[in-house]
Amino acid sequence: MNLRDYQQHAVDAVYDHLRKRDDNPCVVIPTGGGKTPVIATLCRDAVTQWNGRVLVLAHVKELLQQTAEKLGSVCPDVPFGVFSAGLKRKDRNQPVLIAGIQSIYRFACDFEPFDLIIVDEAHLIPLEGDGMYRRFLADAKVVNPHLRVIGCTATPFRLKGGPICTPEGMLNHVCYEVGVRELIVRGFLCPLTSKAGRTKFDVSQVGIHKGEYCNDELEQVMDAEDLVKSACREIVELTADRYACLIFATSVQHGLHIVNTLQAEHGVNCGFITGETPPEQREQILSHFKQGRIKYLCNVNVLTTGFDAPNIDCVVLLRPTLSSGLYYQMVGRGFRLHESKQNCLILDYGGNVLRHGPVDRIRTKTTRKSNREKGEAPAKECPECSTLLPTAYAACPDCGHEFPPPDKASHDATASKVGVLSGQVSTESFNVISVIYSVHSKRHSEARSLRVDYKIGWQRFQSEWICFEHTGFAHQKAVRWWKQRSRLPVPQTAREAWDIAMSGGVASPTAITVRTVSGEKFDTIVGYQLGKIPDGMSAPTESIIEEPGDAYEPESTSDVEFPFGMTESDAIANEPWWQHDIRVGIPFEKTEPDAAACPGCGLTTRHWIRGVGELQSSVECCNGCGALIRVLTPNEAEQVWPLDDDRSWENTVPW
């Protein structure tokens, strides 16, 4: 068997490490990249060239079977045995022994000395404690003080975080590593893709215990009826052209709920495997899945490391996890090449890509700590005005955008659209169902912004902040945004913009285009398809695309339009002359020239006229005391209930 070039480089790197150093090396090759041929080659060379004795350790019987099969093809002349209760074999004296750690960890002293121990899935070796791996390796080194240990893994960090190679650990140095992206580009791994979900879900109240979500609390959140139905509906829709879909569930109850929903509501047969599934039934289900006799297979904490089904063309993550290693292992089930697939679709319902980063550039706690030690200031980018800020900022000082608290974990009820590989850029257009305008205030700042929420699906919104009261790029962007939607002059305040928008003076988009860049936390609206612009303003003939730094900035006040022949000074003196709607009962933070306080309750309110032809029927209610007010003229209003001559006042809105 001929090794691929990177596999041969890995073998050479191990030999170089063993010659030049006295500690233990580790080889990192992505899932599906072919660690087993490297292990088989090391075993063959150790026996045939150096007359050594080798033990290969793994934690599941599937890995033991793979290693045995590959060893038989690479070096058929090298005798090897298997020590595994699951495989019902107890060989002992062969030059190469393949063993399950659960079966052998108590019997290191009962075997002849090993010269070399190779640990597959080496990220499972704990950093400290008395686990099975540490106990066996410590005892084996007593039997042979010159024992060398080689680790092989796809994830050079532990499931609970931190590197597997440390000066004081069982493994000390990564001697060779090849990345996911390189092997995909070279055609050795399957390309990955992802699609957008429609609804969002929040698990911020789920507790964390020992670095992972608490199972009971997470199950309660994930097993909600509407979440399961929404997810199953989308899974069936997005996998219509897929052949083998592997689903990761949070718990047994959650998994059963998924299986039953797929069958009852969509007529889909879905296999189900847990740690309690009888071995014979498990083998039958896996066989049917690999043969394509069942399209969907749901599992709970089983089919991660060691499960080899190259035909998997969709991985569904219905399980949030704080473990970067587990996230990688789940996604890695789709890495392998197969003649029936062109790529593998990743549907992430757990917010895992956002939490850990793209699968080829996973962020770990140690990585973040190292960056801080190197003096790299942690920073983040405001999604609204592109300002770079320290990560400690809770809100952007330029535009007022509030960032989510760092200790809250977000979870999507439907699949995340974030690219599973770093740098992937995706855009998607959505029809706008409705638009919600509101005035956004930031603590400790007088500058406010107009928040615009576009409803683009069931319980799904895409937001943007328009910063009329700010300066610099944020204000330039607001000017351009306004001129594309209204013929009225650009508002000076967020409240003025809100009033005009609520009175129908702003064109609303019928569709928006959203851009997602893998590795970035926030999506960005980059295009709009605007509806009819009010009052005869010419509407754009095509979608408007906004790019950073391309905002409109008026060169002078002559660029600003003032209707009715007003000059700039006239407009300022008569502001806000463009208001067209009566709004009684809207609280104000301070009394302004165009605001009046209710004589009954003292609530400061603003009263806009609804329209010149509708003044006689304009009756509104005060939010503070419930008084009814009728607008008599553009400058006068009276209270109509309860009757009290002392509770009438003039509306001070200029017209």
| Residue 241 in tokens | 């052209």
- Mention every residue, 6+ apart, whose C-beta is less than 8 A from residue 375: none
Mean pLDDT, rounded, for 82-110: 90
| Residue 305 confidence class, pLDDT cut points 50, 70, 90 | confident
CA 114 to CA 218: how far, in whole Å? 44
- What is the CATH T-level fold of the domain 190-364+379-390, as seen in this structure? Rossmann fold (3.40.50)
Q: Which range among 52-66, 347-361, 471-485 shows the weakest confidence by mean pLDDT?
A: 347-361
Q: What is the pLDDT of residue 316?
A: 93
User: At 351, is the secondary structure helix, strand, or coil?
Assistant: coil
Angle at the Cα of 281 from the Cα atoms of 234 and 318, rounded to 5 degrees = 25
| Residue 363 confidence class, pLDDT cut points 50, 70, 90 | low
pTM: 0.60
Alpha helices in 75-189 (DSSP H): 101-104, 132-143, 180-185
Task: Kindly list the distances between the CA atom of residue 76 and the CA atoms of 49, 69, 115, 185, 425, in Å, as whole numbers in the listed order.
Answer: 15, 10, 21, 33, 47
Phi/psi zone of residue 220: left (φ > 0), alpha (ψ -120 to 50 degrees), beta?
alpha
| Residue 294 in tokens | 């069942």
Among 101, 116, 27, 41, smallest CA distance to 71 is for: 41
- Kindly report the number of other CB atoms within 10 A of residue 494's CB atom: 26
Q: Which helix (H) or strand (E) holds 369?
A: helix 365-373
Place of tokens 């829709």: 237
SS3 for 67-106 is: HHHHHHHHCCCCCEEEEECCCCEECCCCCEEEEEHHHHCC
> Residue 56 half-sphere exposure, CB side, CA atoms within 13 Å?
32
Q: What is the pLDDT of residue 30?
A: 92
CA 150 to CA 40: how far, in whole Å? 13
pLDDT digits (tens, 9 = 90+) for 583-604: 333 332 333 333 444 444 545 4
Burial class of residue 654 in the structure, from the number of CB atoms within 10 Å of its CB (0-12 exposed, 13-18 middle, 19+ buried)? middle
Q: Which range among 394-403, 489-498, 613-622 shows the weakest confidence by mean pLDDT?
A: 613-622
pLDDT digits (tens, 9 = 90+) for 115-126: 999 999 888 888
User: At 602, is the secondary structure helix, strand, or coil?
Assistant: coil
Q: What is the pLDDT of residue 351?
A: 81
Q: What is the pLDDT of residue 513?
A: 92
User: At 230, is the secondary structure helix, strand, or coil?
Assistant: helix
| Residue 466 in tokens | 């328009």
Q: Quick check: 85 and 100 in contact, CB under 8 A?
A: yes
pLDDT digits (tens, 9 = 90+) for 411-462: 455 566 556 666 667 788 889 988 888 888 776 677 889 999 898 876 578 8
Q: What is the pLDDT of residue 4?
A: 93
Q: What is the pLDDT of residue 349?
A: 86
CA 213 to CA 540: how far, in whole Å? 49
SS3 for 537-596 is: CCCCCCCEECCCCCCCCCCCHHHCCCHHHCCHHHHHHCCCCCCCCCCCCCCCCCCCCCCE
Q: Which helix (H) or strand (E) holds 254?
A: helix 252-266
Question: Which of the pair, 57 or 162, is modelled with greater confidence?
Answer: 57
Q: What is the pLDDT of residue 20?
A: 93
Q: What is the pLDDT of residue 374?
A: 41
Q: What is the pLDDT of residue 116?
A: 95
Q: Name the segment(s) of the chain with CATH classification 3.40.50.300.
A: 5-183, 190-364+379-390
Q: Quick check: 519 and 425 in contact, CB under 8 A?
A: no
CA 207 to CA 221: how far, in whole Å? 11
- What is the CATH T-level fold of the domain 5-183, as seen in this structure? Rossmann fold (3.40.50)
| Residue 301 in tokens | 């904490």
Q: Quick check: 317 and 330 in contact, CB under 8 A?
A: yes
What is the chain's mean pLDDT, rounded?
75
Q: What is the pLDDT of residue 605?
A: 43
pLDDT digits (tens, 9 = 90+) for 532-541: 888 744 433 3
Percent helix, strand, coil in the chain (nearest 5)?
30, 25, 50
Mean pLDDT, rounded, for 563-575: 42
% of the chain at pLDDT higher than 70: 69
Question: Which of the pair, 311 or 439, is modelled with greater confidence?
Answer: 311
CA 447 to CA 397: how far, in whole Å? 9
Assess whether pLDDT exceeds 80 at residue 510. Answer: yes
Burial class of residue 587 in the structure, from the number of CB atoms within 10 Å of its CB (0-12 exposed, 13-18 middle, 19+ buried)? exposed
Question: Which of the pair, 598 or 401, is modelled with greater confidence?
Answer: 401
